[in-house]
Amino acid sequence: MLGQGFVSAAAIAASVLFILSLGGLSNQEKAKRAVWYGIVGMAVAVFFTAFGPGIGGYWWMIPMIIIGSVIGWYVASRVAMTEMPQLVAALHSFVGLAAVFVAWNADLERRRVLAAQALGAGQQEFSAFAALVATKAPDELMFLQIEVVFAIFIGAVTFTGSVIAFGKLAGKVDGKPNQLPGGHMLNAGAAALSLVLAIAYISGAGFWTLLILALLAFFIGWHLIMGIGGADMPVVVSMLNSYSGWAAAAIGFTLSNDLLIVTGALVGSSGAILSYIMCKAMNRNFVSVILGGFGGVQSGVAAEIEGEQVAIDAGGVASSLNNANSVVIVPGYGMAVAQAQGAVSELVRKLRAAGKEVRFAIHPVAGRLPGHMNVLLAEARVPYDIVLEMDEINDDFPKTDVAIVIGSNDIVNPAAQDDPNSPIAGMPVLEVWKSSVVFVCKRGQGTGYSGIENPLFYKENTRMFYGDARESIDSLLSLID
């Protein structure tokens, strides 16, 4: 059993490692080291918490840690990069559900302590947490109840919201916005009733109030995310990340665990900031998105698209690439689905060996997760210095000979600028249509995940390179001089 001094020192060390980890993830070259900071920090946190003062039950705790570690390793080693957003959403759900269970247990312990004190029981009969509760004054107990309410509400919303986000990302739930009749009024009503139950609980009502509160929050989480469309999924993922952090922080206050408070606050604040950045990149109202698209109704009918999609074969694409001096590649989720990043990396190597300038243009919300495309390209060993963000490269498209779009739709859609009635009107996009010629690698003529038509596909300087992205890029490799 470790003393409290060791646990406090470990909490400070782990917090510093978590901060270094977050800071390092902002730079691709430091990201791998930053991940190790996070791994070591979490290992320190788990070890010193498990063997800290007042902790027992090792006969079941250690086997559970081992089982959980094995399951985590197995899942992480088998999950494909295309499934990473789903995995993140699933992990968020675990954090939310854990917060609900811990909060329920905390209130049961509080009630047991009060009942025991009424019977004159000694403090030595209590568990470590119950003993802590027994030392609290009435006003401190009220704050404990408030912490329990927050943990249950945020945790329950996070759980069901993350489950639905997982379903939408995995294609098991329809990606279109879908709410019950009454829509936002149902959410508002459930939230108001939750507030009434919270007040009743703090005023002395029974445990049943927390059970109903959790059910209402489960409904709100489910209904909120059901009302958010596929185009907003990157924001949803980062938003749920923030929710899971605040749920963890609330439980940290309940358990008087400084490390859990710091860790939860780091996750909650960074997730909220990332959500705001994503909304800005998509010209979405932050409050509207987190409220399930409230106020996000189109103001009119989107403009009809004229023209036709003109197909091209591998020979035609290769000919243009061989004659080009500058090439910009725009990756999207279609590249991830086809696992074409390796073939794309080889194409880039051949083009650069031929003396051509090749760069990547990354939109902030490309893929299903912030930074999704950067991770895929790093996995394929694409040099960091040719991977540029939207603001760094958008002005260069008029000077670009060939733009290749691989599995992207909304982030290269000119309707965002030209059609005020488009669902993505005002969203900053990559202006690939300003290049001399645009090749779009796409499976077919569908509208993609978000269901929004793209006028780019019908422009005179655009050619559609139909087929599986990996097979299409592979077919080019032997044709590049």
Catalytic residue among 410, 418, 468, 481: 410
d(CA 167, CA 313): 36
Enumerate the β-bridge partners of residue 389.
362
d(CA 390, CA 402): 17
d(CA 327, CA 321): 8
Token pair of 237 as six digits: 């993922």
d(CA 34, CA 29): 10
d(CA 424, CA 43): 43
What H or E segment, with its residue span, contains residue 441? strand 437-442
d(CA 96, CA 156): 6
Question: Residue 447, Cβ neighbours under 10 Å: how many?
Answer: 12
Question: Residue 120, Cβ neighbours under 10 Å: how many?
Answer: 6
Give catalytic status of residue 410 as yes or no. Answer: yes
Dihedrals phi, psi of 300, to nearest 5 degrees: -170, -165
Residue 355 and residue 315 in contact, taking contact as beta carbons nearer than 8 Å: no
How far does Cα 303 stand from its chain's mean position? 32
Residues belonging to the active site: 410
